[in-house]
Amino acid sequence: MARISKMRTAVLATLLLAATSSAAKDEVPKGGKPFLKNGVSNCVVPGTEIDFHLTGQGTAQVVKASSNYPPLLRAAGVKIWKAWEVNRDGLRLLVLDNGRATRIMVKLPAGNGMAFIGEKEGGVSDILCQVLVSP
């Protein structure tokens, strides 16, 4: 069981890292298509919360953002993010991209993911997102 878990973690990490390489270029993640479901996503990490409205048109609108981490607050200043769904190797990801080298990638339906902030003082962080969509 531990081996399977490690393999899935490695695959997820590979997908996340490969997908971030296209963030700065504003490209569709490999295997990605626009996320076409309406709903909301609430993403949290200690000291940070960012809420999105998923429009159902391949975009996500920042509704609320609070953080003790200035690079994430600046990233949330971009109010409309692209929303992609990526299905690869048995994993389903929601990818939220602000088009300025910041990307949040969430494994669906579990909600665990990573936030990548591409600023000079940016970084990478685990993040947990609750994604609620209409059927």
For the stretch 110-130, pLDDT in tens is 999 999 998 787 889 999 999
The predicted pLDDT at position 27 comes to 67
Q: How far apart are CA 25 and CA 44, in angstroms?
A: 26
Q: For residue 88, give the 3-state DSSP assignment.
A: strand
Do residues 83 and 54 make contact, with C-beta atoms less than 8 angstroms apart?
A: yes
* Residue-number span of the structural domain to which 17 is assigned: 2-133
Answer yes or no: is pLDDT of 15 > 60.
no
Count the domains in the chain. 1
> What are the φ/ψ torsions at residue 25 (nearest 5 degrees)?
-90, -5
pLDDT > 70? residue 75: yes
List 24's β-bridge partners, or say none: none
> Average of pLDDT values for 68-81?
95
Residue count of the chain: 135
Spatial separation of the C-alpha atoms in residues 27 and 127, rounded to whole Å: 22
